[in-house]
Every structure is written in C-alpha cells, then in structure tokens.
Amino acid sequence: MFVRKKKNKSGVISVQVITKVNGKSKLVKTLGSSNDPGRLEELVETGYHYIKKYKGQQVMDFSDTKSVYKSVFSSISSHTEIGTEALLGGIFNEIGFHKIKDSLFKYLVYSRLIQPVSKLKTTEYLFLYKEIEITTQQIYRYLDKLHSTQKELVQQISYEHTRKILKNDIRVVFYDVTTLYFEIDQEDELRKTGFSKEGKHQNPQIVLGLLVSKHGYPLAYEIFEGNKFEGHTMLPVIDAFKEKYNLEQLVVIADSGLLSKSNVETLQEKGYEFVLGARIKNETHRVKEKILALDLRHGQSAVIRKGNLKLIITYSDDRAKKDRYNREKGLRKLEKQIQRGRLTKANINNRGYNKFLKLDGEITVAIDTEKLQQDTRWDGLKGYITNAKLNKDQIIENYHHLWQIEKAFRVSKSDLRIRPIYHRLQRRIEAHICISFVAYKVYKELERQLYEKKAEISVNKAIEIAKTIYQVTAVAPDKTKIEHLLITNEKQKTLIELFPENFG
C-alpha cells in the first residue's frame, strides 16, 4: 500500500492511496485534490497516516535496540515444541499410518515414544507441550474404536511397509513371548496368574506373543490369558499370519521355550520349516554322549541326525565363559544359604542351581561336586533342532537374529513403557498394546533410517534432540502470523540436515 499523486485532465493533482492486487494497482481511497503545493503535502501526510492506521505499519526506532527487541518479543503469541512431531510424523506417514485419519491415533503413538505415561498424564503432556486439549474420556472412547475397527488395519500397514523395505523377503519369521503384569489382586478372564518372565508370579498378567521379520521389524502380535503355556501360543499366531497374507512357505525361528513335542509335530504336519532352540541336556543318553564326544572348539559346529530332523551343535568360548560365570554365581548363593542353615530337604529339586544339592546323611545339605563336574562339560555348547532346508551356517546365522525380538520386548518395556498397563477392560488393554506396537514400528523405522544415513546417534538421542526444537509464532501489526524455527545448536542443525523433508 502506498500514496500516489495523479494529475487529472483538468490539471488538478489528486492524492490517492493505492494497493497492489495480483500485480495490478487498485485504488483504495482518494484523499483529495489541489494545485497548491502546501495542500498537496498535507494530503500526502494524511495518506501516510491512513496507511499506518489501517494496515498497521509501524516505524521502529532502530537506534533503541532494547525497545526493538521488546517490540518483537511482545508480538510472540506461542512457543511450541514441534521437533518430535516433525521427526516422528514424517516416519509415521512414510510407513503409511496416516491412512488412519483419527488425529488422536498419531498423538497417542507420538506420546508413547516421547513421554510414555498413563493416559491421564498423556492429556496433561499434550496440553502443556503441544497445546492440544484432549480429555481422558476422549482417549478411552478412541481406544474402544481402535480395538473394534482399526487393529487389523494397523497390522496390515505395518506388514506392507516391512514387505517393501525387505523387498518381499518375508520367508523367515521369528516368534517369542513375554509377560506383562498388572498391579491388581483379582484375576479376570484375561488377567491371570501364571509363570512370569518378570518374576511377578503373584500378580495377574497377560501373555504377549510377537512375530517379527529379519532385522526385528514387527509383523503381528496377539495377547493371551496370563496362565497360557507359551508353547501353545506360537502356532495360532503363525497360522493366522500365514493365512492372512497368503504366504506359501515360512521358516519359523523360536527359542527353546517354544520347543515341545507337540509343537514340532504340528509344525511338520502343517508344512512349516523351523529352527528351534534345543534343550540338549534333556536329550536321550545316546544323543548326549554323541554331543559330548564332538569335542568342538570355538566357532565350530556339527550336525547330529535325529530321524527326519537335524540337531545342530555349536561351541563358543564366550558362551562357555558366561555359563561358568552363571553357575559360579548360583553356587555362591547356595553356599551362603547352606552356611546360614536356610536350606532343607524341601529345597532338593531340579530347579535352577538346586540340582547341585544333595542330602548327606539325613539332615545335612551339601554341594554335589560330581553333578557339578558333569555340568561343566556342557559349558559353551548350544543346540538347534531343525527341519529347514537351509545349510548349517544359514541356520545358525538366522537363529542368531532371534536377539532382535528380545530387543523388541526390551525396548517396549523400557523405552516405550508398555507396562504398567492401567486399563481394566480387555478391549482397552488390547488397544494399549496396539498403540505400543505402532510406536515400536516407528521406532524401528527411525532406527533403520538413521543407520542408512550413517548417523552417529541412536533413536533415543534423536528424539531427545527433537524435543529441544521449538517454533515461535509472532503476530504482526497487520494480524499476519509469522512462524520461525528456533535452531540454537549444532545437534539440532545435524538432525534437521538428516531429515530435511520432515522439517521443510
């Protein structure tokens, strides 16, 4: 907007206020006309005042630096952390989770990665740091919707993305279970006491089964009653996964906790290839003698035939060292209990390191040194039972990827804090785990991209840096909003350079 003096045909000069619209001049107001220079100067001054009043232009005295900054700061209307949403939102959308249109879904996922707390604390976090006002009741209503209509879509999106990044190679899958306990006394149809991997045997719990691909990308999950034997959870999850995605062949890899005669028989009947951790100390006397006669050295392995199955045995110095350490630690504990007179006949069983105890006479408990010496012969040995067509080295290599699923549980329990679960209703418990499943998928994809970009920071570090990236919004005198990203250190700059499309 500006002041223009225009000479008319009559020779009189008009003073006008003009603005530009689409590159063309448009008359805003004619202030008057005259031939008198003094009058024309007054009209021009009036035009400037008009522009200042209606467009909000202000003239700053830049000689007074302090006043300038005060004026700028006073125009700031908000100061919002946007780094985490920019970083995680880009990953979230790339995976395809934006297809779930509910905005609350993404905020619950982000919160699980940024500030994993109860739903009540989540509402407080979103309000304080994101200026998003959501009630706990809104969250609970959405969890009901997520459970009833969106759980399958979540797993479908995750599967399709994993299939894409693995270039359709989903032939090898890894399965494991964990337990999640509740701080309650009463059981219900889902939450029941059972064997707890977390040592919470008195607490009602649920069993969570997780299926992942190579490199640990989550594929599917299911929850079971807390007293469900873990060996009975594997086949329902794998069968449903195979049928849902119409997969012709799968190689299933699981640890020895899933090894049972019925599982091995059923896997073979259904045409699965499998690699299961073997309990080599529970083999027949003949097979155990064969194992010990191998006399393997570090890095060596051998195959023992068991009908149509192969028992692969490996030896590692590192594993032997760990086996010795664990046994000696257990023995020191037993010796202290013996010295204090806390062990009795009731303690003589085959649980843990109690197997090294014996009764001397009728009342004296002592260490059975013969059993102890026999046990040392197994240090460093590891077995795998398999029918897979893969060669020996491929079987061993693939089994070693099983640590990825252990990491998935560890990340979910520590970083994402999937526990404690504060919900009582089964549908909301399942929805909570669904949110955690999506959060872990985003975590893994961010981890993959950081690795591909050769970034020297972890997922957690990237999120911590993102938490420090704020955006200020200022309102100009003409009511125009101006947004500016506050970048104050090199770590922030590096993160933005790694993901420019997320912060663009």
The three-state (H, E, C) secondary structure of 445-469, written as one string: HHHHHHHHCCCCCCHHHHHHHHCCC
Residue 133 CA to residue 135 CA, distance in Å, equals 7
pLDDT one-digit tens code per residue, 449-491: 999 999 999 999 999 999 999 888 888 766 777 888 888 899 9
The pLDDT assigned to 67 comes to 66
The residues, ordered by sequence, that sit 6+ positions from 411 with a Cβ below 8 Å of its Cβ are: 440, 443
Q: What is the pTM of this model?
A: 0.73
pLDDT exceeds 90 at position 94: yes
The pLDDT assigned to 287 comes to 94
CA Rg value for the chain: 34
Reported confidence tier of residue 310, pLDDT bands at 50, 70, 90: very high
Structure tokens at 461: 């570090």
pLDDT exceeds 90 at position 429: no
More confident residue, 184 or 87: 87
The pLDDT assigned to 386 comes to 95
Q: Fill in the amino acid letter for 337.
A: Q
- Using the CB atoms, write b or e for 41-65: b if 16+ within 10 Å: eebeeebeebbeeeeeeeeeeeeee
Q: Fill in the amino acid letter for 363.
A: I
pLDDT one-digit tens code per residue, 336-345: 877 777 666 5
Residue 182 CA to residue 380 CA, distance in Å, equals 37
pLDDT one-digit tens code per residue, 387-422: 999 899 999 998 988 887 777 777 766 665 666 566
The residues, ordered by sequence, that sit 6+ positions from 125 with a Cβ below 8 Å of its Cβ are: 111, 114, 115, 117
> Exposure of 265 by Cβ count < 10 A (0-12 exposed, 13-18 middle, 19+ buried)?
exposed
The pLDDT assigned to 208 comes to 85
Residue 162 CA to residue 353 CA, distance in Å, equals 42
pLDDT exceeds 90 at position 182: no
pLDDT exceeds 70 at position 119: no
Lowest-confidence region among 169-173, 316-320, 418-422: 418-422
pLDDT one-digit tens code per residue, 186-222: 666 676 776 666 666 677 788 888 899 988 898 988 8
pLDDT exceeds 90 at position 321: yes
Among candidate residues 199, 181, 172, the one with its CA nearest the CA of residue 401: 172
The pLDDT assigned to 356 comes to 59
3-state secondary structure of 350: coil
Residue 385 CA to residue 305 CA, distance in Å, equals 10
pLDDT one-digit tens code per residue, 28-60: 888 888 888 888 888 888 888 877 766 554 555
Residue 33 CA to residue 361 CA, distance in Å, equals 126
**What is the rounded average pLDDT of the residues 346-350?**
54
pLDDT exceeds 70 at position 331: yes
Reported confidence tier of residue 334, pLDDT bands at 50, 70, 90: confident
**What is the rounded average pLDDT of the residues 18-22?**
77
What are the distances in angstroms from CA 16 to CA 9, 31, 56? 16, 6, 18
Q: Fill in the amino acid letter for 232.
A: H
Sign, CA torsion 322/323/329/330: positive
- Does residue 420 have a cis bond before it (omega within 30 degrees)? yes
> Exposure of 380 by Cβ count < 10 A (0-12 exposed, 13-18 middle, 19+ buried)?
buried
More confident residue, 185 or 162: 162
More confident residue, 69 or 205: 205
To the nearest whole number, what is the mean pLDDT of the chain? 83
The pLDDT assigned to 285 comes to 93
Rounded to a whole number, what is the distance in angstroms from the first to the last CA of the chain? Answer: 31
Q: Fill in the amino acid letter for 227.
A: N
Residue 434 CA to residue 109 CA, distance in Å, equals 9
List own/partner pairs for 290-296 with CB under 8 A and 24 or more apart: 291/381, 291/383, 292/377, 292/378, 296/381
